[in-house]
């Protein structure tokens, strides 16, 4: 009975670790493949957040199943990554925009409502 | 709200002393009994029962996780597409939320929804500028999603 439970927990650990590493890998490939700062931020914030969360959940289940440790640090780590990733992405995006990075566009016409509204304000 | 939390904690600690077992389990037992007492006496205590608000917070967190999962599948699709067939751009989204806390929550939620990333908030706190991976499709989609987000946030904060 305990063996089957351990087997199931092992499968959970494997699934979480593989999905986590897959998302982190996709995030890094996205950072290389996407054309500009903003699209790269898309990849690095979202996929990396879920990837790190997956790896940490996998480690949490592993520690609990093998050693019987309930690791609060890993849960705290997930919460802080979830809280800080969107905020840091917002700050990097804003800094990039205010230092004059234009969004990439497939046909060369940039569609940028923020720059338009800033220009309008300057005219007034 | 603060009064109810303190009452609940006091009942839990009193339960611990009455049962003379000083462990997490007896604290949790006392906490549940305190919550039940507060629920039964909710007509005589100022403010609404506080666990309903906690429940709404949990719902908001679940919404957050759901959107994170959907957006990850989307972004992975875009990463492995052979051609750059997306049309990125920045659009403006008006919002009805007022306080800094609410707007922070909304921008974080938007940053984690599929294909969107909040870039800036206007000085008057009434418009959020969002960078979208595929501007034509997401602009309509986010207009629809926005109201559910705003309602969920308002239920927690107001």
How many whole angstroms separate alpha carbon B69 and alpha carbon B61? 13
pLDDT of residue B124: 80
For residue B127, give its domain range: 56-157
Residues B33 and B66 in one domain: no
Residues B150 and B83 in one domain: yes
B132, B63: one domain: yes
Q: Does A79 touch chain B (CB under 8 A)?
A: no
Residue B114 contacts residue B66 (beta carbons within 8 Å)? no
B90–A115 C-beta distance less than 8 A: yes
Q: Determine, for residues B119 and A94 on separate chains, whether the beta-carbon distance falls below 8 Å.
A: yes
pLDDT tens for the 124 residues of chain A, in order: 778 888 888 898 999 999 999 999 988 988 888 888 888 888 888 888 888 989 999 999 888 888 888 888 888 998 888 888 888 888 888 888 888 777 777 776 777 777 777 777 777 7
Among B76, B80, B87, most A C-beta atoms within 10 A, so best to mutate, is B76
SS3 B94: strand
CB contact under 8 A, B76 and A23: yes
Domain count across chain B: 2
State whether B133 and B62 are in the same domain.
yes
Say if CB A67 and CB A9 are below 8 A apart. Answer: no
With a pLDDT cut of 70, the percent of chain B lying above it is 99
Same-domain check for residues B36 and B110: no
What pLDDT shows up at residue A98? 85
Backbone φ, ψ for residue B12 (5° rounding):
-65, -45
pLDDT score, position A21: 93
For residues B4 and B49, give the distance between their C-alpha atoms in angstroms, rounded to a whole number: 8
| Residue B114 in domain | yes
Residue B61 lies in a domain: yes
| Closest residue in chain A to residue B129, using alpha carbons only | A114
CB B101 within 8 A of CB B69: no
- Give the per-residue pLDDT at A14: 92
B-chain residue closest to A115, CA distance: B90
Ranges in chain B, pLDDT < 50? none
How many residues in chain B? Answer: 158
Binary contact (A89, B135; C-beta < 8 A) = no
In chain B, what is the greatest distance between 2 CA atoms, to the nearest angstrom?
69
| Contact between chains at B112 and A86 (C-beta distance less than 8 A) | yes
């Amino acid at each position: 009975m305990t063996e089957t439970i351990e087997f199931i927990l092992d499968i959970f650990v494997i699934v979480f670790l593989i999905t986590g590493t897959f998302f982190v890998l996709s995030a890094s490939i996205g950072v290389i493949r996407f054309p500009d700062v903003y699209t790269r931020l898309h990849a690095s914030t979202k996929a990396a957040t879920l990837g790190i969360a997956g790896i940490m959940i996998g480690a949490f289940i592993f520690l609990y199943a093998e050693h019987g440790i309930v690791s609060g640090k890993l849960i705290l780590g997930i919460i802080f990554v979830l809280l800080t990733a969107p905020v840091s992405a917002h700050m990097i995006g804003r800094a990039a925009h205010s230092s004059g990075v234009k969004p990439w566009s497939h046909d060369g016409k940039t569609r940028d409502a923020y720059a338009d509204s800033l220009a309008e304000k300057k005219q007034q | 709200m603060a009064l109810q939390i303190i009452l609940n904690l006091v009942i839990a600690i009193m339960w611990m002393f009455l049962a003379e077992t000083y462990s997490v389990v007896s604290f949790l037992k006392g906490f549940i009994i305190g919550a039940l007492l507060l629920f039964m006496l909710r007509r005589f205590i100022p403010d609404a029962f506080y666990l309903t608000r906690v429940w709404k917070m949990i719902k908001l967190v679940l919404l957050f996780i759901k959107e994170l999962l959907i957006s990850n599948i989307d972004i992975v699709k875009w990463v492995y597409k052979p051609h750059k067939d997306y049309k990125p751009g920045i659009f403006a989204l008006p919002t009805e939320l007022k306080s800094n806390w609410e707007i922070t929550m909304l921008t974080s939620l938007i940053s984690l929804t599929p294909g969107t990333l909040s870039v800036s908030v206007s000085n008057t706190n009434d418009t959020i500028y969002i960078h979208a991976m595929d501007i034509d499709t997401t602009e309509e989609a986010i207009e629809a999603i926005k109201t559910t987000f705003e309602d969920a946030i308002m239920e927690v904060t107001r």
